[in-house]
Amino acid sequence: MNVPLLDLVAQHQGIKDAVLPAVMSVIERQGFIMGPEVGQLEVQVARLSGAKHGIACASGTDALLIPLRALGLKPGDEVIAPAFTFFATAGAIHNAGGRPVFADIEPGTFNVDPAAVEAAITPRTRAIVLVHIFGQMADVGALAALANKHGLMLIEDAAQAIGARRKVDGQWRAAGELGTVGSFSFFPTKNLGAWGDGGMMVAQDDTLADRLRRERLHGGAREYYHDEVGLNSRLDSIQAAVLLAKFPYLAAWGARRRDIAALYTAAFAGIAGVTPPPVDPANEHIFHQYTIRAERREALLAHLKSRGIGHKVYYPLALHLQPCFEYLGVRAGALPITERATAEVVSLPIYPELTSAQTDAVIAAVREFYQG
């Protein structure tokens, strides 16, 4: 049986009656830039994130770049981030003029280790970027306390974690709520995906939110008057209309992803050679990815391919070992937990439209590989 890693066509079949009229209304109105849909989406995402402000922008990458640019980084200023993440996390630091400083992760959740972040703080540190990797939140309580103590901006890269929650001091906190800025991506494959690129920043602080809004639109609060040089990074009204139409489904989609994850984890618990992804009991995971550690990974990948089971290695090369970051002088072996993860992880199909025949096929293929 063929099980694609992700099936957006199946998703579209189920919701197109809701999405197409919303898009057609933008087209009929010919209101493509900063239409009312953008503001409505900003309100919805801010509410979901427990944040006061939502500021839409052109991509998840820009949702990281814009707050980093607002810091006005000077040459040599450092920003701490994990190296086990999508490239954009560190690319944005570099493009904002900062020097990425990589911190190792926790072996269980794959999230950045607050103790490693603390050890990486120097007098040049200006910000911390945490990543809620694969849809499970990092220890944002500990990292917010650290950022606070040292006067640093804390950016939550929540590109993979829209709607995820974590109990902090006994209270549910949403992804994007406790950071100085929370950054979301609406790349089509994310849990809430547009029909193209899109992103959103959320923030609590009024002054900062104004600054981010200016930075998104050429650095001017008033048209044709510019306080600083900003970017052109808007979210199209068509994309906002798509996202608004999909938004009501997001909670049920997350619950279905959790159900599938529980099914996989129960099945894999009995298979020697596979370590299912542990969920921190403080977290409500949204399973953007279901990522196992696998013994004899390369052989498993070939087996999954032969059985038609979609799979991908997120991420095969840690960011401190990328050629473009050679100038940082971080050697192999510097981040042992990150490097080990890149050698062991495999992500398997997880999306709400998977049928039980398909999840059975995924489990059967993994079982067959390890147990014959």
User: What residue ranges bind ligand PLP (CB under 6 A)?
Assistant: 59-61, 85-86, 88-89, 131, 157, 159-160, 185, 187, 197, 199
* C-alpha to C-alpha distance for 327 and 120, rounded to whole angstroms: 18
Q: With respect to ligand PLP, which residue has the nearer C-beta, 77 or 157? A: 157
CA-based R_g, the chain, Å: 21
Residue 321 Cβ, how far from ligand PLP at the closest point, in Å? 17
Angle at 276 between CA 272 and CA 279, to 5 degrees: 145
H/E run at residue 329: none
Residue 61 Cβ, how far from ligand PLP at the closest point, in Å? 3
Shortest Cβ contact with ligand PLP: which residue?
A: 60
Residue 364 Cβ, how far from ligand PLP at the closest point, in Å? 29
Phi-psi region of 306 (alpha: psi -120 to 50; beta: other; left: phi over 0): alpha
Residue 216 Cβ, how far from ligand PLP at the closest point, in Å? 14
Closest CA to 85 of 117, 120, 133: 133
Residue 194 Cβ, how far from ligand PLP at the closest point, in Å? 9
The alpha carbon torsion through 259, 264, 266, 268 (nearest 10 deg) reads -170
Instruction: Write the DSSP string, 69-105.
Output: HHTTPPTT-EEEEESSS-THHHHHHHHTT-EEEEE-B
Q: With respect to ligand PLP, which residue has the nearer C-beta, 85 or 359? A: 85
Q: With respect to ligand PLP, which residue has the nearer C-beta, 49 or 85? A: 85
Q: With respect to ligand PLP, which residue has the nearer C-beta, 186 or 268? A: 186
Check: CB of residue 219 under 8 Å from CB of residue 228.
Answer: yes
Q: With respect to ligand PLP, which residue has the nearer C-beta, 59 or 204? A: 59
Residue 95 Cβ, how far from ligand PLP at the closest point, in Å? 12
Report CA 138 to chain centroid distance, whole Å: 11
Q: With respect to ligand PLP, which residue has the nearer C-beta, 187 or 369? A: 187
